[in-house]
Amino acid sequence: MNTGKERLQKEFTKFPLIVKPVAEGSSKGVVSKSVCHSESELREVVREIVDKYQQPGLVEEYIAGREFTVGLLGEKRPKVLPPMEIVFLDKAERTPVYSFQHKLDWNDRIRYDVPANLDPGQLERLKVASRAAFMALGCRDVARRDFRMDEKGRFYFLECNPLPGLTPGWSDLVLIAQGGGMDYRTLIGEILSGAIRRYKEREQRKGGNGAPKSGYEERTTIAPTDALRIEAKA
């Protein structure tokens, strides 16, 4: 919605609905009041988003249930890292969302469980859905996927983060890697390995005889060999 005055499409007349900025990251603009229980609430939140972020508000169905985020590394056959569950600790919240406030004060308001507590069938379905979304959206090298699972065990894809944060000890992808037995140095090496390979192949094509250009090896020795090993446990 561009102004908050537009007519709601009929598929968005059943509440609750969630509204967030159409082009922000790190949950900016996602707060507790983003979950709207009436049309008047929704229009108010859209107007606030338009005024504050100078962009439209994205209106979506609110999916109740458990929340998961999944990291992937690679290209054509991406590796799926162990899913992480975001556990909301305040049981009084009827419609919790992984908000900007949660990310600022996560120790008291949420808990991260990684690997997530899922049965084998649920885990496999989540991995398949994560890889399918990665491929469908044309992602490469690294991405993170967010899902909700309803009470019937159905997974709903919420959104893709094609450039996830990498702050040590804080960003979701880093916590996911740690939970899967991958340290920070190895994670960065995994992300860079595809780009290094593509750069090397391009330089070889330029050289014509398959030999890298002079000075190439020195420029691309950015991580020790062990930093490029695949150590995540699927």
pLDDT in tens, 163-186: 999 999 989 999 999 999 999 999
Class of domain 63-234: alpha beta
Decide which of 232 and 4 is more confident. Answer: 4
Which pLDDT score is estimated for 140? 95
Q: Give buried/exposed letters for 97-136 (b at 16+ CB in 10 A, else e).
A: bbbbebbeebeebbebebebebeeebbebbbebbbebbee
What's the pTM value of the predicted model, to 2 decimals?
0.82
As a 3-state breakdown, the chain gives helix, strand, coil percent values, each rounded to 5, of: 40, 20, 40
Q: What's the half-sphere exposure (Cβ side, CA atoms, 13 Å) at 8? A: 17
Is the pLDDT reported for residue 109 higher than 90?
Answer: no
For a pLDDT cut of 90, what percent of the chain falls above it? 69
Per-residue pLDDT, 106: 66
| Distant-in-sequence, close-in-space partners of 46: CB < 8 Å, separation ≥ 6 | 1, 3, 4, 19, 56, 57, 59
Domain with CATH 3.30.470.20 in the chain: 63-234
